[in-house]
């Protein structure tokens, strides 16, 4: 791929992606997706035939290339399967001028409303420029006045978008729900202090090893099904997550974190509860109880 231009690499990746997941590819697919000429689409198909010709067969009746029985990934063989799944259900590489659409029928559950573009852009600029951000935030404590934060990363919990930041009012690192930010502006004449750097966020930098197992109260048949579903090795699925995200992840995955394993309707259970010791957001994990001192 190194000898091809960036644009051509994108088209060859798309060509293989579509062939792999739909079983066919045509010049019209490339023309419609990239707005290229018929001659350019023909060249792309010729390049693919030269470099991975065993992957496709030409159907003379329909003038469409179909996947061969000997197909093997060439350009996409090192792509993370999660990236392939996102491309499959959300649309691959769509430009701003086109409406993204899934390649195959797919229904996704409703998510919360996306943040406003203005707030999103202000937060993003502050992150990229390592700047101070002044926000008007609707806090559950009722203290809604303006505050200054030093953000360094977005966090997706599966239901909400958060921003991880140092809060100057509280003097700690914490999470802010982006949809609760009514207004945000970068404070260009203020510089973050060394203590506000993400390197000092202990929970962000501390990695946890969470050992997920089929729920102990499940039947043997159900345990085997759960182990297959979560691709477990020796009936354990190991998740490595930031301590700052552990509670969100365990809630998203519906993991029983109760000390008595009482949430027996949940498919998974956290085997090593002590991993959540001293984790602030462990209270978000289903059933978790802090040990009494």
Task: Out of 77, 102, 125, pick the residue that ends a domain.
Answer: 77
**What is the model's pLDDT at position 77?**
87
State the pLDDT at residue 87.
80
In a domain, 98, yes or no: no
User: What is the H or E stretch that residue 146 is in?
Assistant: strand 146-156
CB within 8 A of 16, min separation 6: which ones?
A: 48, 52, 55, 73, 74, 75, 76
Average pLDDT, the chain: 90
Cβ-Cβ contacts under 8 Å for 231 (sequence gap 6 or more): 237
**Is the same domain home to 176 and 217?**
no
pLDDT at 95 over 70: no
For the segment 278-287, what is each residue's pLDDT rounded down to a tens digit?
999 999 999 9
Do 175 and 224 reside in the same domain of the chain? no
Above 70 in pLDDT, residue 206? yes
What was the pLDDT predicted at 211? 98
Q: Is the pLDDT of residue 207 over 60?
A: yes
Of the three residues 198, 215, 237, the one that is the final residue of a domain is 198
User: Does 48 reside within a domain?
Assistant: yes
Alpha-carbon torsion, ordered 166, 276, 251, 176, to 10 deg:
-10
φ/ψ (deg, to 5) at 78: -105, 10
What confidence tens digit (pLDDT) does each residue in 224-249 have?
Answer: 999 999 999 999 999 999 999 999 99
Report percent pLDDT > 70 for the chain.
94
**Which of residues 149, 181, 198 is at a domain's end?**
198
Residues 34 and 43 sit within 8 Å (Cβ to Cβ): no
More confident residue, 40 or 91: 40
Per-residue pLDDT for 292 more than 80?
no
Which residues 6+ apart lie within 8 Å of 203 measured at CB?
Answer: 173, 242, 243, 244, 279, 280, 281
Q: Shortest CA distance to 120 belongs to which of 156, 87, 79, 94?
A: 156
Domain contains 109: no
Domain that holds residue 272: 206-284
pLDDT at 96 over 60: no
Question: Do residue 13 and residue 52 come from a single domain?
Answer: yes
pTM value is 0.80
For residue range 101-129, list pLDDT tens digits in order.
677 887 777 666 778 889 999 999 999 99
Q: Number of folded domains in the chain?
A: 3
Is residue 112 included in any domain, yes or no?
no
Three-state DSSP state, 50: helix
Q: Label residue 274 left, alpha or beta by phi (over 0 means left) and psi (-120 to 50 means alpha).
A: alpha
User: Per the domain annotation, does 241 fall within a domain?
Assistant: yes
Please indicate, yes or no, if residue 82 is contained in any of the structural domains. no
- Does residue 51 form part of some domain? yes
Question: Has residue 190 been placed in a domain?
Answer: yes
Contact 132, 187 (CB under 8 A): yes
One domain for residues 69 and 16: yes
């Amino acid at each position: 791929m190194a000898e091809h231009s960036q644009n051509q690499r994108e088209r060859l990746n798309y060509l293989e992606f579509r062939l792999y997941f739909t079983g066919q590819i045509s010049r019209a697919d490339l023309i419609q997706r990239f707005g290229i000429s018929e001659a350019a689409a023909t060249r792309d198909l010729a390049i693919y035939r030269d470099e991975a010709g065993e992957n496709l067969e030409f159907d003379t009746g329909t003038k469409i290339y179909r996947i061969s029985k000997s197909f093997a990934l060439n350009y996409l063989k090192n792509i993370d399967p999660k990236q392939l799944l996102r491309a499959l259900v959300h649309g691959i590489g769509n430009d701003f001028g086109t409406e993204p659409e899934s390649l195959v029928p797919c229904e996704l559950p409703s998510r919360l409303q996306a943040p406003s573009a203005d707030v999103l852009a202000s937060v993003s600029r502050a992150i990229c420029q390592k700047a101070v951000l002044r926000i008007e935030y609707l806090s559950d404590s009722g203290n809604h006045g303006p505050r200054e934060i030093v953000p360094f990363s977005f966090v997706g919990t599966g239901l909400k978008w958060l921003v991880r930041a140092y809060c100057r009012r509280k003097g700690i690192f914490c999470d802010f729900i982006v949809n609760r930010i009514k207004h945000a502006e970068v404070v260009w004449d203020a510089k973050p202090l060394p203590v506000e750097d993400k390197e000092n966020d202990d929970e962000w930098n501390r990695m946890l090893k969470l050992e997920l197992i089929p729920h102990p109260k499940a039947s043997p048949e159900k345990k085997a099904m759960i182990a297959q579903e979560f691709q477990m090795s020796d009936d354990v699925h190991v998740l490595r997550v930031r301590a700052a995200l552990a509670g969100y992840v365990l809630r998203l995955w519906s993991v029983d974190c109760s000390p008595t394993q009482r949430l027996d309707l949940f498919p998974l259970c956290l085997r090593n509860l002590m991993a959540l010791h001293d984790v602030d957001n462990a209270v978000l994990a289903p059933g978790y109880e802090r040990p009494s001192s």
